[in-house]
Amino acid sequence: MKKVLCLLLIVLLSSTISFEKAAAVQLSYYGSGSYVDYAPVEPLDGIKFYVDYSAISKYGSGAFSSAFDWNGNYSANVAMIAQYPASWSSYPTSFLIQVSTTLLNGVYGDTYYFNAAGTCINPYYTFPMDQNGLYKCSIGLTSREHLFWKNGSVCSEYLEKTIIHEVGHVFLLKHPANVNYAFSVMNQGLPNNSTIASSVTSLDRWNITEKWGY
């Protein structure tokens, strides 16, 4: 009887572990890529951003500190956010955050990845987050502030969600493949109460630690 119970316990534990592993695989959305060793800024050293005049004049300075939302009890972090009126030339290695006047309607923000030669990375059929050779990123925000409106004015929750989302891409997180099951700030769109979070969730942090370690 004891042997049977032990066996049942082992089977139960194994299937639980398999289920959790399968669930974990389904809910992982970090890229397999990396920044080069000589990248001046990268997640484990602390990402540094510079927010330029276009972004500050459009949206003010308050929202950008939301990027620090990614920080937690793990190594990868946002180390600094310099802002206009400081000059970007004083922080030349920082990743730029700016307003992009060519983003079409319906696009809240985007993230570019460059190698050390300043070439955009992302060979066809792959994601840039799966590429090695990443050197720097830049983030663009829409110039159409009405996309962030709630009751006629810019809603900070909406704006901050986009900022945090794009910074997540700098950490090499992708959009979750299974959008129906992942409550994540990395899902596209404005926050809702079911799948699109307005800030970093526990699942997002799990992905950060899976990617970059503790």
Partner 1 sequence: MKRINKMIILSSVLVLLSIIFAFVLSSQEEYEVVNIQCDRMVFDTLSEIEDYAVIVAEVAAEEEQGQEVSSFFDYELKKELPSGGYTKRDMTITKVYKGDIEVGDKLVFLHDYYIWTYDDGRKQLITLSGFKPLQKGEKYLVFLQEEYKKGEYSSAGDYLGLYPVDTINDYLKAPESADFSYIYDMYQVDNMEKIISMYDDVVRKYHKD
Binding site for partner 1 (CB under 8 A): 40, 88-89, 92-93, 96, 98, 100-112, 114, 116-129, 136, 138, 140, 147, 162, 165-166, 169, 174-175, 177, 188-190
Cα distance between residue 91 and residue 112, in whole Å? 19
The DSSP H or E segment spanning 139 is strand 136-142
Nearer to partner 1, 85 or 123 (CB): 123
Nearer to partner 1, 73 or 180 (CB): 180
Nearer to partner 1, 8 or 116 (CB): 116
Beta carbon of residue 160, minimum distance to partner 1 (angstroms, whole number): 12
Beta carbon of residue 118, minimum distance to partner 1 (angstroms, whole number): 5
Nearer to partner 1, 71 or 179 (CB): 179
Specify the pairing of strand 136-142 against strand 153-154.
Answer: unpaired
The DSSP H or E segment spanning 12 is helix 2-26
Beta carbon of residue 39, minimum distance to partner 1 (angstroms, whole number): 11
Cα distance between residue 155 and residue 42, in whole Å? 30
Q: Are 166 and 91 in contact (CB under 8 A)?
A: no
